[in-house]
Structure 1
Amino acid sequence: MRIIKSCTYTVLSLGLASVTQMTMAQDAHHSMSMLAQHESHSSHDSSHQVMQTRIESNKMEHTAEHAEHAEHAEHAEHAEHAKASSIASRADSAQHPVDHKREHGGQIYQATEIDNRWLYNVDGRGSLKTEIESRIGTDKNKLFIKLHTDKAESQDADYAAQLMYSRMISDFWDAQIGARYWVDEHQVTDKEQLDAVVGLHGLAPYFFETDAYLYLGADKQVSFSLETERDLLLTQKLILKPYLNLDVVLSDDSAYAQKTGLSSVWLGLETRYEINKKLMPFIDVAYSYEKGNQHTAWQAETGSEKHWWYGAGLRLKF
């Protein structure tokens, strides 16, 4: 009986051990299966994530490429539009050229100055002098017209008209060329003469407005004249103007020849009051020197003369 119980217990023990081993094996297999499945899911999720990242990257690359193409297209369209606008502008300029001369000194202007002065010397002899100067043109090219009359008291008037083309050669100087026509009623012959003129007009250092001319006429008449003046402002309206006018005879073989050398000098001081820029009365004090004429078949030799002059005048500008 004990043997049977022992055998039974042994059998039960072996069976229980076998069942336990089988259960443990199944649990291990199940755990391995679960681990493998988890790794499989993890691998799948990782692959899915990588795939998603690649898709997003491709989308971004595609978007960037699309934007780049759009930008290139926009630039191309803008360039084409600019080109078309340039062509249209050139065509319009060709049909309607724009003149910028007014902005670069090409405008045409005109100015005229009339100067009348009544002068008397210490001997009581009077003289009326009138000068008219008119200019028209641009900054570079101008036409100068100068008229001069000198009428001594109880005598006929002398006239001179000067026409010159003026060309700017620097910021402050114009070169001039032209002709002078003059009439001297005191002469019996050759009352009317025509001279060629070349000279300079401009602003000398220290703001001296200067006209320097060389005259070439018949009978070897060659002379030089210089006129220079400067404004000194006492106030905005009261102005002093010292001036110097001189003539030099280089040669003269005419019937009424003047002595060569310094022929005449006028040195004066003008004081003017500018009522406005168009109307300017003034008073004048001057000293004059005249060398005289040579002895010829038509005239007797004369000596030099010196005089003080005083008077008043009126200047008009328009």
Structure 2
Amino acid sequence: MRHLLALPLLFAGPAFAQDHATHDAHGPSHPMPMASDQPEDDGESKAQAPGEDTVTLDHRMMNHGAMEHEPMDHGSMQHGSMGHADMDHSGMGHDMTMQHGATATPSTDSIPKAPPPPEAFSGPLHAADQFLGEDVMAASREEVVREISGMPVFWFMADRAEYRARQGKDGYLWDVQAVYGGHVDKLWLKSEGEGSFGEKPESAEVQALWSHAIGPWWDVQAGVRQDLVGPSRTHAVVGIQGLAPYLFEVDASAFVSNKGDVTGRIEAELDQRITQRLILQPRAELNLAAQDIPELGVGAGLDRIEAGLRLRYQIRREFAPYVGIAQEWRVGQSADYAQAAGEDPSVTNFVAGVRFWF
């Protein structure tokens, strides 16, 4: 770079060299000398054109063979003293255009203007159809549309439908629920009962509840409960049902009967996934009463405790047989009522059943 900048000094004479030194010292505010200010040469240089403010080099005097063409080291150039912007390129005879870091701009002619080729639309409309099948994905999309559209849906689940092997007569138990409605308000039906084979059920009830979502995890419920066996009782019900922290499914209800009896029930269960299909479910249930109810064999305070452990295998998510064990205790005055009726206040049940929903 220095060799190229020195060429005008060699051929322009001492006056040009002096002014160029001034240019280096003071920057671009000092213009390069006019050709008319230069001393006359030996006659071999070209005459300066009128009105031309550039220095013209005579190529006949330049020994191109002797010129050393060294690569320019842009990193070593001191841009602080004289950068590319400070150089008056118009004063050079050569049209030296230095493209330092220039980037080519793509032409708009390179952008395709034709529509996509037909092959772009040869695949399925939905990519998942190619892997899971059109029938499976069509049913899944219909279910999503139904759920997010706010239309009422129906859901039924038999949480426990089981055979109970125990000392004495074997028995049975059912615990089913059905829901109809939307995401916020719905009709919730519940029924549960148990008994021994060959005898009338020991207990049976049905509940009809209005359920209102108070958050993403909880529903508050209110309605009526009707006992189907034993002394006739109709109860007003208020409760809460949902998913507690750590994924405990909780159902807690308070009952007030038409006889003025106040009772309560708390149920909790937890699904512990062992594998994708094998699930261990611990479950507990507490029954309480605010007073003695002799005709029902219920004592005040804690009436009955049930704790169980069930292991189920999901053949499908909607259908899962299980086996397990359930222990029942009558507590306090309720135990006395059971013994007076010839019943054992503590019963162990080996259970086998099925859990299904649709």
The two structures have a TM-score, normalised by structure 1, of 0.61
CA spacing shift, 1:127–1:304, aligned 2, 3 Å: closer
Structure 1: give runs of 5+ residues left out of the alignment: 1-100, 186-190
Q: Say whether residues 1:134 and 2:178 are aligned partners.
A: yes
Name which of 238, 261, 267 aligns with 2:307. Answer: 267
> Given residue 315 of structure 1, which amino acid in structure 2 is its aligned partner?
R
Q: Say whether residues 1:173 and 2:213 are aligned partners.
A: no
**Number of the residue aligned with 2:240:** 200
CA distance in 2, matches of 1:243, 1:219: 31
Which structure 2 residues correspond to residues 97-246 of structure 1 after superposition, within 5 A? 106-114=150-158, 115-121=160-166, 123-157=167-201, 158-185=203-230, 191-246=231-286
Structure 2: give runs of 5+ residues left out of the alignment: 1-144
Kept in 2: contact 1:179–1:195 (CA 8 A): yes
CA distance in 2, matches of 1:269, 1:224: 23
Displacement after TM superposition at 1:127 (Å): 1.4
CA spacing shift, 1:280–1:117, aligned 2, 3 Å: same
Kindly provide the CA deviation profile for residues 128-163 of structure 1, in whole angstroms up to 9, marking residues without a partner as x: 001221011111111101112312233211321000
Kept in 2: contact 1:293–1:301 (CA 8 A): no
CA distance in 2, matches of 1:281, 1:308: 20
Displacement after TM superposition at 1:307 (Å): 2.2
The two structures have a TM-score, normalised by structure 2, of 0.54
Kept in 1: contact 2:280–2:309 (CA 8 A): yes
CA distance in 1, matches of 2:351, 2:194: 15
CA spacing shift, 1:301–1:314, aligned 2, 3 Å: closer
CA distance in 1, matches of 2:320, 2:147: 31
CA distance in 1, matches of 2:192, 2:348: 21
CA distance in 1, matches of 2:147, 2:319: 30
Which structure 2 residues correspond to residues 244-263 of structure 1 after superposition, within 5 A? 244-253=284-293, 255-256=295-296, 258-263=298-303
Tell which deviates more after alignment, 200-209 or 307-316. 307-316
**Number of the residue aligned with 2:320:** 280
**Number of the residue aligned with 1:88:** none
Displacement after TM superposition at 1:293 (Å): 4.0
CA spacing shift, 1:105–1:197, aligned 2, 3 Å: farther
SS at match of 2:198: coil
SS at match of 2:246: coil
Displacement after TM superposition at 1:205 (Å): 1.1
CA distance in 2, matches of 1:313, 1:261: 31
CA spacing shift, 1:143–1:303, aligned 2, 3 Å: same
CA spacing shift, 1:260–1:152, aligned 2, 3 Å: same
Displacement after TM superposition at 1:273 (Å): 0.4
Structure with more of its chain in strand, by fraction: 1
**Number of the residue aligned with 1:44:** none
Q: Say whether residues 1:313 and 2:358 are aligned partners.
A: no
CA spacing shift, 1:221–1:309, aligned 2, 3 Å: same
Kept in 2: contact 1:223–1:249 (CA 8 A): yes
Q: Count residues in correspondence.
A: 210
Q: CA RMSD in A?
A: 2.5
Displacement after TM superposition at 1:246 (Å): 1.2
Tell which deviates more after alignment, 245-254 or 108-117. 245-254
Displacement after TM superposition at 1:175 (Å): 0.5
CA spacing shift, 1:264–1:253, aligned 2, 3 Å: closer
For the pair shown, the structure with the greater C-alpha radius of gyration is 1
Which structure 2 residues correspond to residues 25-64 of structure 1 after superposition, within 5 A? none
SS at match of 2:299: coil
Structure with more of its chain in helix, by fraction: 1
Displacement after TM superposition at 1:125 (Å): 3.0
Q: Give the percent of matched residue pairs that are identical in Structure 1 and Structure 2.
A: 27
